[in-house]
Structure 1
Amino acid sequence: MSDVADACRKRYAIPVQFHVEVGKPHEHIANYARWHAINLTILGSHADNFARDLFIGSTALRFLHEGTHPALIAKTLPRAPYRTVLVAVDFSDISRTAIDSAAKIAPGAVIHALHVYDVLFEGKMRYAGVDEGVIQQYREAADIEASRMMHEFLLRPGQHGATLPIVRYGHPSRVILDEAHTLHVDLILMGKHSRPGLNELFLGSVTEAILTALIATC
């Protein structure tokens, strides 16, 4: 560990401290970040070792469940400053904080705010034999409402005027990954809700799926 710290000091000309503990990585990392008021915790992925990728991915997910501070999960060493950032938003205060964080982490980057919507009870309507034309009308109405909410969200005080809105229909994790691929983004940024129910739903179904997919494609 001291060799790694020395190498970082020399390469980046920055002060580096190292700390070693024995135990569950995600718990110790989260506690260290909490006790030292860390602004950003970074966990890396190893493209040359699938077993390590699974370990890092598991540690990252557990840390996200455990921690309350911002975290960056890095696949590779950036060759240049982040130029294109995708922020998943649900119009909450957490989403507002996420966009602010994107501007701080990647100053000068193009920031895309993505909201993914669906149609309430669409599956049940289709199962009940509701005409596809009627379902399409519901979907169009949901798209109009989501676009209106996005417009109002980006007009609120404190939001960045350069943020570009994207509204899409579908499953959040799949749409986020597709948009990230289409836009060739350098960074995906997602907020974490503090309420337990939303936390489990968000981390379990969306963040976990995205992290797993990204690690698998390293």
Structure 2
Amino acid sequence: MSVRLEGIDSVLLPTDGSDRALAGARRGTELAVATGADVHVLSVVDTSEAKPDSSALGRDEDEAVAAIDADADVAVDAVARMVRETAPALEVTTTAERGTPFRVIDSYVEAADIDLIAMGTKGRTGLERVTLGSVTENVLRTVAVPVCAVPLGAADTPLSSTQTETVLLPTDGSDGAAVAVDWGLELATVFDAMVHTLYSVDTSRFPSRTEPTELLSTLEDEGRAALEAVRERAVDAGVSVMGTVASGPPAKVILNYATENEIDLIVIGTHGRSGMTRHLLGSVTENVVRNADVPVVCVPMRGDDRRH
């Protein structure tokens, strides 16, 4: 029996018809199944880039625009069909709109009272990583709800109680990290997963004049306090947890830890809406999402947290 994640009533699956969008949609569907949420599928015709050349296409502009709209409908229908085949009991709403994708997604989140977005990111090309897709990146910077960013490499690894055994919760002790920890613990409960919590000792944050011994002691004390806060929350939630204080740049530490410990899901805090200061973890979240091989749930800190 699935455990319902408090406040997750609706999951949005944006799609552009690509393989990475389908990978995000699959993981988002599994989250909807686990939480009992409704699913919304959205495709956006990018009017900022879609400028049909009627002469080149051999048809007038109206026909060209109609073809683009039809492609959007096909993309939506493909994801909706996948959702219905995977979980026939889920309620599915489909929409195709025009506009700037990340702005349309943000508006849709507000209008439809969406609680979580799941979307794909760009994966690897050859031996080099590709930068985060511009739409996903802008969504991460804009929306006030968590975003599950799914790399193409995670396309064949389901989020389920049988497959999701470990959840990584990085923390820096900030309020933003605490919000993400609450989400991570609830997701760990849903999947009956073990929680790993991680604090990175990053000496670059402190003045060079600080004595090394004093600096290390300060950082380790800060890390232990942050991990203890997570442990206390985990005990209250009935979740098994192990904590680690590591050393190095936070993004690199998180990614290495995830690989070495076969982490299945990362839940990390990020910045809030524009005008709010980024926290330490918020400043590295985009690098973690760009380079992770597993889904990353990015949780913004905001004053209007609808879960509570």
Structure 1: runs of 5+ lacking an equivalent: none
Structure 1 CA distance for aligned equivalents of residues 85 and 180 of structure 2: 32
Confirm whether residue 178 of structure 1 aligns to residue 256 of structure 2.
yes
CA contact (8 A) 1:43 1:56 kept: no
Confirm whether residue 143 of structure 1 aligns to residue 220 of structure 2.
yes
**CA deviation map 1:67-124 (0-9, x unaligned):** 0101101122333522111111122333232222123334211111112233366563
CA shift for structure 1 position 187: 1.0
Structure 2 CA distance for aligned equivalents of residues 48 and 165 of structure 1: 30
Structure 2 CA distance for aligned equivalents of residues 55 and 119 of structure 1: 27
CA shift for structure 1 position 20: 0.9
**CA deviation map 1:102-160 (0-9, x unaligned):** 233342111111122333665634xxxx8xxx514521442134213422453258565
CA contact (8 A) 2:80 2:94 kept: yes
The alignment partner of 1:20 has SS state of: strand
Q: 1:104 aligns with which of 182, 186, 202?
A: 186
**CA 1:136 to 1:57, structure 2 compared with 1: closer, same or farther past 3 Å?**
farther
CA shift for structure 1 position 200: 7.9
User: Counterpart of 2:277?
Assistant: 198
CA contact (8 A) 2:196 2:242 kept: yes
May I ask how many residue pairs the two structures share in their alignment?
Answer: 205
Code of the aligned partner of 1:198: T
User: Counterpart of 1:16?
Assistant: 92
Code of the aligned partner of 1:190: I
User: Counterpart of 1:6?
Assistant: 81
CA shift for structure 1 position 47: 5.0
CA contact (8 A) 2:220 2:245 kept: yes
Q: TM-score, normalised by structure 1?
A: 0.78
User: Counterpart of 1:118?
Assistant: 202
**CA deviation map 1:10-67 (0-9, x unaligned):** 23213222111112211111221122221210001365879xx968622111101110
Structure 1 CA distance for aligned equivalents of residues 78 and 176 of structure 2: 38
Structure 2 CA distance for aligned equivalents of residues 69 and 201 of structure 1: 19
Could you say which structure has the higher helix fraction?
Answer: 1
User: Counterpart of 2:23?
Assistant: none
CA shift for structure 1 position 161: 5.0
User: Counterpart of 2:107?
Assistant: 31
User: Counterpart of 1:62?
Assistant: 138
CA contact (8 A) 1:113 1:165 kept: yes
Structure 2: runs of 5+ lacking an equivalent: 1-75, 294-308
The alignment partner of 1:179 has SS state of: helix
The alignment partner of 2:183 has SS state of: helix
Could you say which structure has the higher strand fraction?
Answer: 2
Q: How does 1:142-161 map to 2 (within 5 A)?
A: 142-155=219-232, 158=236, 161=239
Structure 2 CA distance for aligned equivalents of residues 25 and 84 of structure 1: 33
User: Counterpart of 2:118?
Assistant: 42
**CA 1:206 to 1:27, structure 2 compared with 1: closer, same or farther past 3 Å?**
same
Of stretches 162-171 and 35-44 in structure 1, the one that deviates more from structure 2 is: 162-171
Code of the aligned partner of 1:34: E
**CA 1:180 to 1:18, structure 2 compared with 1: closer, same or farther past 3 Å?**
same
The alignment partner of 2:109 has SS state of: helix
